[in-house]
Structure 1
Amino acid sequence: MHLRAFLPLAFAALAAAADSLSSVLKANSDTLSTLSSLMAMDPSLGQKLASSTDITLLAPSNEAFAKMMKSDPVFAQNANNATFVSSLLRYHVVVGKTTSSMFPVKPKHASTWLETPTTNVTGAQKVALTEKGEAVVVFSGYKQQSTITRSDVPFAGGVLHVIDSVLTLPATPAETAMNMGLTSMAGALVKVGLVNGVESLQAATVFAPTNEAFQAIGATAASMSQQNLTNILQYHVLANQVRLSSAVTSKMGFKSMMGEKVTLRKEVGTVFANSAKITVADVITSDGVMHVIDNVLNPASPKLAPIRNAAPSNPAFQGAVASDNPPFTEGVRPTANFTPAASLAPRKINISLGTAMLGFLGCAAVVVL
């Protein structure tokens, strides 16, 4: 039987479609009492939830919070911080009533109630809602996956879905790269002074090469002038635009921050940026999305096309010399270690949600200089 067909039948609140949210939470305290306690720390949020309509609440279960409290000491320490809790909870409220049957196979990026002074992206912070096989899932920052375990619980203002893990707040592009193991990209952005430039954009699509991709041209890249390296990194950023992989249907060109166009194309279900394969797509960041790619893009060769069966893609810099180790990583110290979800396999992460939250609020350093 399909997951969404039987899960709602098991939830006590289904019988009272017009019940208030507080009544639904109280009736299901065995599952949602921790969420209720945290919501009580922000009366203004409770009032807004009580008076709002057409919303979707992604509700971490007691077990989800307990798991996070146990595994993440920073989260546990900040569980009594009202600002911390308010930001976290607002990221779990999605604009628009979305029942499980409305979750598409192609991920839908939906706005949440979270907006902070440090957020430059047009509109609110996003989550991705999607159906994967028999599961209905939500992707949050760092492409962390939360699975809906109980769906379509109605309340007066909309619908509630219970999820098996706490959503992860989106981080800045540099922090996202750093904490996903893309330390060459993070270090290179710092080296040329582009961190603030990217984060100040109203929206951004960032193509982040893997460390292996940088290492393949490492000796050449390390000897580049500051200006040449800056040009290359700016070529990896589409300024003031968010381009999702799901929107790529054929060959499409988009102007980069550097000025030269990057060509996105889809071939046999795989999306490429010029000749580089997108290996992890649509990672939500605080000002847009990041796509992990297997090759460093070359603005001097914008017309390079994918080579079939090249794994990984051939370097875009002809005659480039590799290095023994990934370049630009000196002084880069990740504050967490996130493995992005790429399938229905269980989450495999070693994280500090508290650290991620503090970074989102502007309290975490990216590198030590």
Structure 2
Amino acid sequence: MLFKNLLPAAAFVTGATAASLSDVLASQNSTLSTLNSLLASNPDIVKTLSDASDITLLAPSNDALSKFLSNPSNAATVVSQTGLLDALLSYHVLNGTLYASNFTNSSIFVPTWLSNSSYANVTGGQVVEASLTNGSNVTFWSALKQNSTVSQANLNFTGGTLHIIDTVLSIPGDLNSTLVASNLTSADGALQKAGSDLTSKLAGLHNVTVFVPSNSAFSDIANIAGNWTSNQVADILNYHIIDGTVDYSTLFKNNTQAATLGGGNVTFTVDNGTIFVDSARIIEKDVLLSNGVLHVIDGVLNPKNTTAKPNTSGSTDAPAFSGASAASNSVPFTSGVPTPTTTVPAATGVSSSKSTGLAIPIQTGAVGYAALFGGAAILANL
């Protein structure tokens, strides 16, 4: 049985420099007893992590796992969905040894051990976003802008270092599930109207960057959008997708272009930290997807108006569609699209908000692994 890509949950340990991972885990039992219980019946996992080098382990505390399990569906889903526990654990193992002093106020996107294509289609492994918040708190962002803060840092062992975190990371989901959870109902409805050819194509893409107009952005062109055919909607949505590149916000450069799935080029403008795509501004950055990243924008892009320029001196931009206007109480494409009962920060443009009670995502494809250990049953009973 291979454990190379197994989620080093066991690696969630603490210790002094040169201590073994097992020693570190044992020394932190008062804080990590729930995690240690999960790992106790899986010594092979601990050995895999102990033999690894140059890694950073993010270890959920007892309180973090208790919060995770307070969502009734989480434990049940982990038990029933083969391979999910392995994926979840793998997402907590970072490539490279990163001490607290390595983080700054600027975000970095760190690859993890999560490379199982049933859950992640990002070259080099799914990432977590990391930066300092409030000046000194090391914080990680996972799916739907959920944040996890380090409560105890730099617990060193022979293969790297371990940080105890206050929230279990959440594996990013696919585009459709992320739109639903983020209350981006117009975009979700537009994707449905575009038809199965586009949704099937998107599901099979690796390494994508998607610009998603907010509900307000669609409302601003309601008089026009309401008359679009399915083919027109598909053409417009294709202009919002970059295939083959995962462009996190830190990678955008002023006055550069990128080819879209529809064939035309979008132009990026970076002005005093604000990023524009053609004439639309990014109002929520870096919402992670199973196959890339999503950025929420305040306007709908027009593939027939690729020269649209942003209004860098104002707070709003004119629609990229000539003659567009809002219709009274009209939000295009939302008829029949359910509104989620709860929303997450990605829907509001508040990237540092704390979200709680988020459910784990459903896998993106058929699982290729058998269950690698029986710890899921333990998790369900903790």
What is the TM-score normalised by the length of structure 2?
Answer: 0.84
**Deviation at residue 342 of structure 1 after TM alignment:** 6.6
Paired residue for 1:225, among 222, 229, 234? 229
Paired residue for 2:212, among 194, 208, 211? 208
**Deviation at residue 276 of structure 1 after TM alignment:** 0.7
SS of residue paired to 2:235: helix
What corresponds to 1:352 in structure 2?
359
Label 1:59 to 1:342 Cα distance change in 2 as closer, same or farther (>3 A).
Answer: farther
- 1:155-177 per-residue CA deviation (whole Å, 9 max, x = no partner) reads 12110001111111111122212
Residue 351 of structure 1 aligns with an amino acid whose one-letter code is L
Q: Which runs of 4+ in 1 moved over 4 A?
A: 40-44, 79-82, 341-346, 359-363
1:144-223 equivalences in 2 (<5 Å): 144-193=146-195, 194-223=198-227
- Mapped contact 1:39–1:89 kept (Cα < 8 A): no
The alignment status of 1:259 with 2:260, answered yes or no, reads: no
- 1:20-68 per-residue CA deviation (whole Å, 9 max, x = no partner) reads 2222111111111122223346555333212111100011110011122
1:293-308 equivalences in 2 (<5 Å): 293-308=297-312
Label 1:241 to 1:128 Cα distance change in 2 as closer, same or farther (>3 A).
Answer: same
Label 1:87 to 1:331 Cα distance change in 2 as closer, same or farther (>3 A).
Answer: farther
SS of residue paired to 1:142: helix
Unpaired segments ≥5 residues, structure 2 = 1-12, 368-382
Higher relative contact order (CA 8 A, sep 6+): 2
Aligned partners of 1:41, 1:178: CA distance in 2, in Å? 37
> Share of identical aligned residues, percent?
36
What corresponds to 1:128 in structure 2?
129
Aligned partners of 1:345, 1:128: CA distance in 2, in Å? 12
- Mapped contact 2:283–2:349 kept (Cα < 8 A): no
The alignment status of 1:326 with 2:328, answered yes or no, reads: no
- Mapped contact 1:336–1:352 kept (Cα < 8 A): no
**Deviation at residue 337 of structure 1 after TM alignment:** 3.0
What is the TM-score normalised by the length of structure 1?
Answer: 0.87
Aligned partners of 1:123, 1:13: CA distance in 2, in Å? 26
- Could you say what the CA RMSD is over the residues aligned between the two structures, in angstroms? 2.4
Aligned partners of 1:332, 1:20: CA distance in 2, in Å? 52
Larger displacement relative to structure 2 (129-138 or 88-97): 129-138
**Deviation at residue 204 of structure 1 after TM alignment:** 0.3
Label 1:317 to 1:42 Cα distance change in 2 as closer, same or farther (>3 A).
Answer: farther
Unpaired segments ≥5 residues, structure 1 = 1-11, 364-369
What corresponds to 1:6 in structure 2?
none
**Deviation at residue 83 of structure 1 after TM alignment:** 2.8
Label 1:350 to 1:221 Cα distance change in 2 as closer, same or farther (>3 A).
Answer: farther
Residue 326 of structure 1 aligns with an amino acid whose one-letter code is V
Residue 275 of structure 1 aligns with an amino acid whose one-letter code is S
What corresponds to 2:108 in structure 1?
108
Larger displacement relative to structure 2 (121-130 or 90-99): 121-130
What corresponds to 1:73 in structure 2?
72
SS of residue paired to 1:153: strand
**Deviation at residue 227 of structure 1 after TM alignment:** 1.8
Residue-pair matches, total: 347
- 1:130-186 per-residue CA deviation (whole Å, 9 max, x = no partner) reads 123221111111121111111111012110001111111111122212211111112
Aligned partners of 1:43, 1:117: CA distance in 2, in Å? 26
Residue 326 of structure 2 aligns with an amino acid whose one-letter code is A
Aligned partners of 1:317, 1:306: CA distance in 2, in Å? 13
